[in-house]
Amino acid sequence: MFINSYTDYDNLIRIVNESYQVNAENIQLHRDGVGRVYFLENKYVLKIYRSFYADNALQTIEILEYLKNYNFLPPKSYRQTLAA
C-alpha cells in the first residue's frame, strides 16, 4: 500500500478502510505537527507520524497500553506500518 502524498485522500481512505474496516468516506486534516492528524467520519482519529518520529509513535502506543493495564480507559489504538 502506498500513499503518494499526505493529501492523497482517496488512497488514504482506501488504505484505512482495507486495514481497519471502518468504511470511511470522509476525511479531513485537523492538524499538522509531529505527524498529521486526520478526522474520519467525525468518529475516528488517524495520526500519521513522520518517519523520524517513529520512536515517539511507539512510545505513545506503549503509554496507552500501560494506562489500559491499570484500568484507565484510553482510546483504542493500532500499530500499523504502511510502506511502499
The overall pTM is greater than 0.85? no
Is residue 19 a part of any domain in this protein? yes
Q: What does residue 57 show for φ and ψ, rounded to 5 degrees?
A: -60, -45
Confidence of residue 84 (pLDDT cuts 50, 70, 90): very low
Domain contains 63: yes
Q: Is 50 exceeded by the pLDDT of residue 81?
A: yes
The tens digit of pLDDT for each residue in 58-75 reads 787 788 888 888 888 766
- Structural domain range at position 50: 9-69
Q: Is residue 27 in a domain?
A: yes
pLDDT of residue 80: 60
Q: Confirm whether 59 is domain-assigned.
A: yes
Does pLDDT of 28 surpass 60?
A: yes
Structural domains in the chain (count): 1
And the C-alpha cell for 27?
476525511
Distance CA 18, CA 54 (A): 23
| Residue 61 belongs to some domain of the structure | yes
Query: Can you tell me the distance from the alpha carbon of 36 to that of 32, in angstroms, rounded to the nearest whole number?
Result: 4
pLDDT score at 32 = 85
pLDDT for 25:
92
